[in-house]
Structure 1
Amino acid sequence: MGFTDGWDSFADGWDSFVAVVDGRWVDRRPRRPEVAGQLRRETQLMPWLAPLLPLQVPVPWIREETPLVVRHVLVPGRAIAASDVVNGRVIGRFLHALHHLSPIEACRHGLASAGETRRRRAATISRLRGEVMPLIPVPQRNSGALLLDAVQEFPIDTIVHGDFGPDHVLVGDGQVTGVIDFGDVHLGDAANDLAWPLFGAPPAIADAVVAAYGVTADLGDRALVWHQLGPWHEVTHGLDIGDPDTVQRGVKGVLARLNRPKG
């Protein structure tokens, strides 16, 4: 069966083309050349990582080399909804387990080093300053600059999912069934993965995550900063694909989150 057979409606990821094959497999192909290395890294890391986690996650392998296609078993479930508040403790336990695995062992199994994260973070912040900051009204630019300054200094010492949000947490029959899309997994700041659970999810989920994970005040403060940073990436994505509506939506999100109070 060819790659495009069984093309599915969620085949619109930012980094990869995605196809569901025979209702059983998920195939991914990089949208851009630089994503190929990211997919290959997953095929090295995830076989080590998956057995150590309390929920099902994708374990991809290389199906085709040219063009590169990686495949994994379809993780069952649908994206978590606001009504699934009972799952907050499960989410908290999952993140706690992920964040307490050995970074040294992860790097031995393909995870990029802290130095690589530091370089990528610096490049990302530089781009956000140069391309997003000019789109922010002048009165809000100081708050934006402080946000980027803060992120620059955040820890790089934990295995993080890197894109932990409701689209990637799956549920079925009222229970969390798995977590998908580890394309952004990296060595970074644990608070990155807590941004959506604490500040984007319903309060009942946030409270349960705090209790199950053991979120400290410092972690919560950093998670808020990562939450505030989220729409900045939507702006750059819109710029990359030449979509003014996505850019405008991202700028609105930036302004809505910039002055969100703590707590």
Structure 2
Amino acid sequence: MTYLGEGWDSTAVLVDERWVERRPRRPEVGPQLERESVVMPWLAPLLPLPVPVPVVVSRDPVVVRHELVPGEELTASTAVQGRQLGEFLLALHAAPVAEAVRRGVGPRPLPVERFRAEVRVPGGEEFLAELDGLPADTLVHGDLGPEHVLGRDGVLTGVIDFGDLHVGDAAIDLAWALHDTPPEFAEAFADTYGVDRELRRRALIWHRLGPWHEVLYGNDIGDQEVAEVGLAGVLDRLGTGVSPI
């Protein structure tokens, strides 16, 4: 086995240089991994890029395996890759929501009250008010960023980590692509996906919200450094440039 790394929810190792084995880092993540094993066999054929299709190999403890998706996380993004990601998300967001729900996918409520209590920053209340009324009618990846979009030789080779798959706002999947990538990638992505002003507005809300989750995660695991990095990100993305309350 070769250790691949760990995210907020699970650890991963490579078995026989072909299979990725994932285990939950917390008990509540186990059902999430099992749900992926139900949803992804249905979803994968609908998508234009390779994605993990996990199989449960143990339920106590929960362990899943899937074939290795080739490529490395993006460190440089091109217009070609932007177009590929736009095509990928068009396909994902067109997937039938009712079928996903039948396989156990549902909405993901935001922890707004925890945000309010644990992330006290100037302008925070005004920003949280922008979360009211966001749509929740599309099957979304929910955690799309350079660590989950893989590429090699200038093209995309796959998308991984569907643990946060849920029924939500399509704009959550546009946040990184529009607001944290090189202009050539972002422009090609926007043209391919058909981003309008309203989608761009909501994508910016989701982009600004990202570090708020990092603060809560740092608090949950008792890591003050993680929480402080998240708080710095909150202030940076809100554009306040001042210390927290």
Calculate the TM-score normalised by the size of structure 2.
0.94
Q: Which of 76, 92, 101 matches 2:95? A: 101
Q: How many residues align?
A: 240
Instruction: Determine the structure 2 residue equivalent to 1:38.
Output: 32
1:176 corresponds, among 135, 152, 156, to: 156
Mapping of 1:168-207 within 5 angstroms?
A: 168-207=148-187
Q: Is this contact kept in 2: 1:28–1:70, CA < 8 A?
A: yes
Counterpart Cα distance in 2 of 1:241 and 1:249: 14
* Structure 2 residue identity aligned to 1:222: R
Secondary structure (helix, strand or coil) at the match of 2:27 reads: coil
CA contact (8 A) 1:48 1:109 kept: no
Show the counterpart of 1:157: 137
Return the offset for 1:209: 0.8
Q: Which runs of 4+ in 1 moved over 2 A?
A: 82-86
SS at match of 2:130: helix
Q: CA offset at residue 250 of structure 1?
A: 1.0
Gaps in structure 1 of 5+ consecutive residues: 1-5
Preserved contact between residue 77 and residue 181 of structure 2 (Cα < 8 Å)? no
Per the alignment, in what secondary structure is the counterpart of residue 166 of structure 1? coil
Alpha carbons of 1:106 and 1:83: their partners in 2 closer, same or farther (altered >3 Å)?
A: closer
- Residues 47-98 of structure 1: CA distance to partner in whole angstroms, max 9, x if unpaired? 0000000000000010111111011001010001224343100011111111
Q: Does 1:166 align with 2:146?
A: yes
Alignment identity in percent?
Answer: 53
Match of 2:112 in 1: 125
Q: What residue number does 1:3 align with?
A: none
Aligned residue in 2 for 1:248: 228
Distance in 2 between residues matched to 1:83 and 1:45, nearest whole Å? 29
Q: 1:227 aligns with which of 207, 211, 214?
A: 207
1:239 CA drift (Å): 1.2
Q: Counterpart of 2:188? A: 208
CA contact (8 A) 1:91 1:209 kept: yes
List alignment gaps of at least 5 residues for structure 2.
241-245
Q: Which one has the bigger helix percentage?
A: 1
Q: CA deviation at 1:7?
A: 3.9
Q: 2: CA distance between counterparts of 1:172 and 1:110? A: 33
- 1:83 & 1:168 partners in 2: Cα distance? 13
Q: Tell me if 1:23 matches 2:46.
A: no
* Letter in structure 2 aligned against 1:48: W
